[in-house]
């Protein structure tokens, strides 16, 4: 059960609150819909519930707020907007990545792909999926950790009628297991047809909280949809006749040649058009909005005969209605069987709940396809009838089996997640290949000029550049480490709001270290090989102080990678991460050199020797030599500046982490 108490957003730039004191309940085993026009505050309400946006109020998921739940992804499955993921990642790779983030077995990815019908598209890239397949993948991501509650923002947006039926079938199956489903929509018909409870928002406030039957009876208004090339004239005549007859009829121009007539019937409108010789292209009863001006959502047109005159679409008074002729076929069957060649569809009416009289189903063009459950009570949707073979393609696959045993928390889970994140796309491999090519070409060019020392030649580091290509590449790969999480918060391991887990940071630093070491080693090897092939053995001699030079080189590359990771985590931007790497030699090094070069009363001459006498004299196995090498690396201007930058970034990261934990 989801309980929402007094959600209120923070007003910005003098505008009123997008959400103002919203409170409602979404019960287990039921589908609850937030209904409202675009801009009514539906998405903002969901973001406040999920603590993705600052505001006031509180939301309880089975009695606990989200920040008090140890594993939020296992309690709430979320789909806000498009599927969160890199467009170059495959469907299976993306789901396996989420499996590592949620701490479930990778077999779960295959189960949910089979359930949502994506088993045949497991190797497709996310960027190539159609809208319907993208919605299926989004539902698979939400169902992956087997959550109790589903929170979905307009999941049927852009879907066809068949895909919408599949989606609601999956959601109702989840609710039948005892789960809670909360979704948003701007279509009143869809809300009344598919939900058990409808919460209506207008201008950020709750104006109604009703069962679907009450909503359909009290808030949906029937209308007559008319299309005519003489729509302005027909509107004037209908208004004039209603005024003369003292009837409450409202005529609304929907744009172009379309009219919506409230308070009248198809017969009255058709007789008026016939008496005055007005051609009518469409005349249909519809139930789908809350009155004129209540929604700005565009009408989904599916009829293709709007340019063909209507011949005889009115039921004569002597002819009984469809619902009074039990031996006649259903209207939807008539359209499907007898009029399929004319591409005529039937408008989707509100669900006909117990105690309400179902309206007639006119055989004319309308704006929606007939829904198979339009003439059934809402409560019967939980137990659908056995399907006929003709509609086997509309059936939803069964839900993936529940996860009976939760895996115990493992310190390796963030590491598995980070390895899958880094290796799942080709960005890292392409970046590494580009670094090796640029470094090799730069080494050849520097060798040709003949003014570069050998230690700089082997790493392709000209005097004019602040950093070599390998260090810049390692910094870029480190800056990309947080790119997916901050672009798609749902990917953050164990925390759907802000990825500030220290375990995740340690995993990213470890992966960045391994990547940087590999890149540094391959760079020296490729440069040396190219120099040997082109210029011979003279330029590839091993320097005498190769140990300290190697330590400095590996330390520089790893330090740049760490600076990229920490800066991207602090500033939430890949560009800021790379800028922090470049700022070390450009800004920090000159400042350190200036500070060290300044005059002072006392100097620290002999400090390394005294430090060795105090701390290093008793170290076994010659450990003082390695520590001395580290101290010499740090004592260099670049090493000292890099150490200072890493310390500042780490402190900033820890500070923001603590602030997000205790806010």
**Average pLDDT, integer, range 70-96:** 84
Q: How far apart are CA 4 and CA 182, in angstroms?
A: 12
Q: Establish if 97 belongs to a structural domain.
A: yes
Q: Rounded to whole angstroms, what are the CA distances from 545 to 542, 552, 654? A: 9, 11, 37
Place of tokens 């105090």: 614
Range of the domain at 286: 220-386
What is the domain-level CATH number for residue 125?
3.40.50.300
Q: Which helix (H) or strand (E) holds 508?
A: helix 502-535
Average pLDDT over the chain reads: 75
Structural domains of the chain, count: 3
Q: Report the 10 Å Cβ neighbour count for 169.
A: 18
Residue 363 pLDDT > 50? no
Taking a C-beta distance cutoff of 8 angstroms, is the pair 225, 366 a contact? Answer: yes
Q: What is the structure's pLDDT at 390?
A: 32
Using only the alpha carbons of the chain, give its radius of gyration: 34
Q: How far apart are CA 308 and CA 282, in angstroms?
A: 9
Q: Identify the weakest region by mean pLDDT among 38-42, 207-211, 298-302.
A: 298-302
Name which residue leads in pLDDT, 208 or 492.
208
Q: What is the structure's pLDDT at 507?
A: 87
Q: How confident is the model at residue 399 (pLDDT cuts 50, 70, 90)?
A: confident
Q: Which helix (H) or strand (E) holds 262?
A: strand 258-262
Q: Identify the weakest region by mean pLDDT among 381-395, 476-490, 556-570.
A: 381-395
Q: How confident is the model at residue 588 (pLDDT cuts 50, 70, 90)?
A: confident
Q: How confident is the model at residue 195 (pLDDT cuts 50, 70, 90)?
A: very high
User: At a CB cut-off of 8 Å and minimum separation 6, what does 417 contact?
Assistant: 97, 100, 101, 493, 504, 507
50 and 190 co-located in one domain: yes
202 and 248 co-located in one domain: no
Q: How confident is the model at residue 66 (pLDDT cuts 50, 70, 90)?
A: confident
Q: How confident is the model at residue 71 (pLDDT cuts 50, 70, 90)?
A: confident
Q: How confident is the model at residue 100 (pLDDT cuts 50, 70, 90)?
A: confident
Q: Establish if 403 belongs to a structural domain.
A: no
Q: Of 175, 193, 211, which residue constitutes the final position of a domain?
A: 211
Q: Report the 10 Å Cβ neighbour count for 245.
A: 9
Q: What is the structure's pLDDT at 519?
A: 94
Q: pLDDT tens-digit profile of 252-265?
A: 887 788 998 988 88
DSSP H helical ranges for 78-146: 91-102, 107-116, 131-143
200 and 266 co-located in one domain: no
Token digits for 253?
Answer: 């121009």
Name which residue leads in pLDDT, 593 or 96.
96
Q: Establish if 397 belongs to a structural domain.
A: no
Q: Rounded to whole angstroms, what are the CA distances from 278 to 230, 251, 272, 551? A: 7, 16, 8, 90
Q: Euclidean distance between the first and final Cα of the chain, in Å?
A: 26
Q: Of 342, 370, 386, which residue constitutes the final position of a domain?
A: 386
205 and 225 co-located in one domain: no
Q: Establish if 281 belongs to a structural domain.
A: yes
441 and 562 co-located in one domain: yes
Q: pLDDT tens-digit profile of 286-323?
A: 765 554 444 443 333 333 333 333 333 333 333 333 33
**Average pLDDT, integer, range 119-142:** 89
Label residue 410 exposed, middle or buried (CB < 10 Å: 0-12, 13-18, 19+). exposed
Taking a C-beta distance cutoff of 8 angstroms, is the pair 491, 84 a contact? Answer: yes
Q: How many CA atoms lie within 13 A of 408 on its CB side?
A: 0
Q: Identify the weakest region by mean pLDDT among 29-38, 46-55, 397-406, 482-491.
A: 482-491
Question: Nearest CA to 539 among 438, 455, 445?
Answer: 455
Residue 619 pLDDT > 80? no
Going 194 to 197 to 198 to 199, the CA torsion angle's sign is negative
Beta strands at 258-262 and 250-253: parallel, antiparallel or unpaired: antiparallel
**Average pLDDT, integer, range 189-213:** 90
Does residue 186 come out as left (phi exceeding 0), alpha (psi in the -120 to 50 range) or beta? alpha
Question: Nearest CA to 642 among 478, 518, 519, 485?
Answer: 478
Residue 498 pLDDT > 60? no
Q: Establish if 291 belongs to a structural domain.
A: yes
Place of tokens 């709940």: 353
**Average pLDDT, integer, range 557-562:** 88
Q: How far apart are CA 436 and CA 473, in angstroms?
A: 9
Taking a C-beta distance cutoff of 8 angstroms, is the pair 413, 100 a contact? Answer: yes
Q: pLDDT tens-digit profile of 606-616?
A: 555 655 565 54
Q: pLDDT tens-digit profile of 7-27?
A: 999 887 778 888 999 999 999
**Average pLDDT, integer, range 50-76:** 87
Q: How far apart are CA 611 and CA 617, in angstroms?
A: 9
Q: What is the structure's pLDDT at 4?
A: 94
Question: Nearest CA to 648 among 598, 604, 591, 593?
Answer: 591
Q: Establish if 408 belongs to a structural domain.
A: no
463 and 612 co-located in one domain: yes
Coil/strand/helix, residue 347 = coil
Taking a C-beta distance cutoff of 8 angstroms, is the pair 306, 365 a contact? Answer: yes
Q: Establish if 406 belongs to a structural domain.
A: no
The separation between CA 562 and the C-alpha centre of its own chain, rounded to angstroms, equals: 28
264 and 361 co-located in one domain: yes
Q: How confident is the model at residue 486 (pLDDT cuts 50, 70, 90)?
A: low
Backbone angles phi, psi at 231, to 5 degrees: -60, -45
Q: Establish if 402 belongs to a structural domain.
A: no
Q: What is the structure's pLDDT at 222?
A: 81
Name which residue leads in pLDDT, 580 or 602.
580
Q: How far apart are CA 261 and CA 404, in angstroms?
A: 55
Name which residue leads in pLDDT, 267 or 293.
267
Q: What is the structure's pLDDT at 636?
A: 56
166 and 31 co-located in one domain: yes
Q: How far apart are CA 423 and CA 88, in angstroms?
A: 12
Residue 170 pLDDT > 50? yes
Q: How far apart are CA 508 and CA 570, in angstroms?
A: 14
363 and 424 co-located in one domain: no
Q: How confident is the model at residue 406 (pLDDT cuts 50, 70, 90)?
A: low
Taking a C-beta distance cutoff of 8 angstroms, is the pair 464, 457 a contact? Answer: no
Q: Of 193, 211, 229, which residue constitutes the final position of a domain?
A: 211
Going 601 to 607 to 611 to 617, the CA torsion angle's sign is negative
Name which residue leads in pLDDT, 450 or 59.
59
Q: How far apart are CA 354 and CA 376, in angstroms?
A: 9
pTM: 0.64
539 and 622 co-located in one domain: yes
Taking a C-beta distance cutoff of 8 angstroms, is the pair 148, 180 a contact? Answer: yes
293 and 190 co-located in one domain: no
Token digits for 567?
Answer: 């800066």
Residue 338 pLDDT > 70? no
Token digits for 510?
Answer: 């470890």
Beta strands at 55-61 and 22-26: parallel, antiparallel or unpaired: unpaired
Q: How confident is the model at residue 394 (pLDDT cuts 50, 70, 90)?
A: very low
Token digits for 411?
Answer: 């310190």
Name which residue leads in pLDDT, 164 or 368.
164
Q: What is the structure's pLDDT at 659?
A: 61
Percent of the chain with pLDDT over 70: 70
510 and 595 co-located in one domain: yes
Q: What is the structure's pLDDT at 59?
A: 93
Q: What angle do CA 484, 486, 489 make, to 5 degrees?
A: 90
Q: What is the structure's pLDDT at 611?
A: 53
Coil/strand/helix, residue 220 = coil
Name which residue leads in pLDDT, 52 or 432.
432
DSSP state, residue 64: B
Name which residue leads in pLDDT, 547 or 33.
33
Q: How confident is the model at residue 73 (pLDDT cuts 50, 70, 90)?
A: confident
Beta strands at 180-185 and 31-35: parallel, antiparallel or unpaired: parallel
Top-confidence range, 217-226, 362-371, 423-432: 423-432
Place of tokens 């939400």: 142
């Amino acid at each position: 059960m989801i309980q929402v108490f007094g959600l209120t957003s923070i007003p910005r730039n003098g505008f009123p609150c997008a959400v103002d004191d919203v409170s409602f309940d979404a019960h287990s085993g039921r589908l609850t819909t937030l209904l409202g026009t675009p801009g009514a505050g539906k998405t903002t309400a969901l973001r406040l519930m999920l603590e993705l946006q600052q505001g006031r109020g509180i939301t309880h998921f089975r009695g606990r707020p989200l920040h008090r739940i140890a594993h939020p992804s296992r309690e709430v499955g979320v789909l806000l907007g498009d599927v969160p993921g890199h467009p170059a990642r495959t469907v299976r790779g993306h789901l396996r990545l989420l499996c590592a983030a949620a701490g479930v077995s990778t077999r779960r990815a295959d189960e949910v792909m089979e359930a949502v019908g994506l088993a045949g598209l497991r190797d497709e890239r996310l960027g190539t999926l159609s809208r319907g397949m993208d919605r299926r993948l989004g539902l698979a991501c939400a169902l992956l950790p087997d959550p109790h509650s589903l929170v979905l923002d307009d999941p049927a947006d852009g879907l066809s009628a068949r895909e919408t039926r599949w989606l609601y079938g999956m959601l109702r199956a989840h609710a039948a297991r005892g789960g809670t489903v909360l979704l948003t929509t701007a279509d009143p018909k869809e809300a009344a047809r598919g939900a058990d409870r409808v919460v209506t928002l207008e201008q950020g406030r709750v104006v109604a909280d009703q069962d679907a039957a009450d909503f359909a009876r009290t808030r949906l208004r029937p209308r007559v949809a008319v299309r005519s090339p003489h729509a302005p004239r027909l509107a004037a005549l209908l208004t004039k006749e209603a005024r003369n007859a003292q009837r409450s009829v409202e005529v609304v121009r929907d744009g172009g040649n379309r009219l919506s007539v409230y308070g009248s019937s198809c017969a009255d409108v058709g007789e008026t058009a016939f008496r005055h010789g007005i051609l009518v292209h469409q005349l249909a009863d519809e139930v789908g909005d809350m009155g004129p001006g209540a929604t700005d959502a565009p009408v989904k047109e599916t009829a293709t005969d709007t340019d063909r005159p209507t011949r005889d679409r009115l039921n004569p008074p002597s002819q009984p209605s469809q619902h009074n002729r039990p031996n006649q076929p259903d209207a939807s069957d008539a359209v499907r069987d007898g009029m399929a060649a004319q591409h005529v569809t039937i408008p989707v009416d509100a669900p006909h709940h117990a105690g309400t009289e179902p309206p007639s189903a006119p055989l004319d063009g309308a704006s929606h396809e007939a829904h198979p459950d339009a003439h059934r009570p809402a409560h019967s949707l939980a137990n659908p009838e056995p399907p006929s073979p003709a509609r086997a393609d509309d059936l939803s696959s069964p839900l993936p089996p529940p996860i009976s045993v939760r895996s115990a928390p493992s310190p390796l889970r963030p590491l598995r997640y980070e390895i899958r994140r880094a290796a799942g796309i080709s960005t890292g491999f392409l970046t590494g290949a580009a670094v090796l090519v640029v470094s090799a070409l730069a080494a050849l060019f520097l060798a040709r000029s003949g003014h570069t020392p050998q230690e700089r030649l082997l790493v392709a580091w000209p005097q004019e550049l602040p950093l070599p290509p390998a260090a810049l590449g390692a910094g870029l790969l480190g800056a990309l480490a947080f790119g997916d999480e901050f672009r798609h918060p749902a990917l953050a391991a164990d925390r759907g709001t802000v990825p500030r887990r220290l375990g995740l940071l340690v995993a990213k630093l470890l992966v960045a270290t391994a990547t940087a070491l590999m890149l540094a080693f391959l760079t020296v090897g490729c440069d040396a090989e190219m120099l040997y092939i082109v210029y011979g053995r003279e330029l590839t001699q091993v320097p005498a102080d190769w140990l300290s030079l190697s330590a400095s080189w590996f330390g520089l590359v790893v330090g740049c990678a760490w600076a990229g990771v920490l800066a991207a985590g602090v500033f939430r931007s890949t560009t800021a991460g790379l800028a922090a790497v470049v700022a070390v030699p450009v800004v920090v090094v000159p400042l350190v050199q200036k500070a060290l070069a300044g005059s002072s009363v006392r100097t620290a001459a002999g400090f390394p020797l005294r430090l060795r006498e105090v701390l290093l004299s008793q170290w076994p196995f010659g450990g003082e030599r390695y520590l001395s090498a580290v101290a010499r690396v740090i004592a260099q201007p670049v090493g000292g500046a890099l150490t200072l930058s890493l310390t500042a970034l780490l402190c900033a990261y820890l500070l923001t982490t603590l602030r997000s934990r205790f806010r």
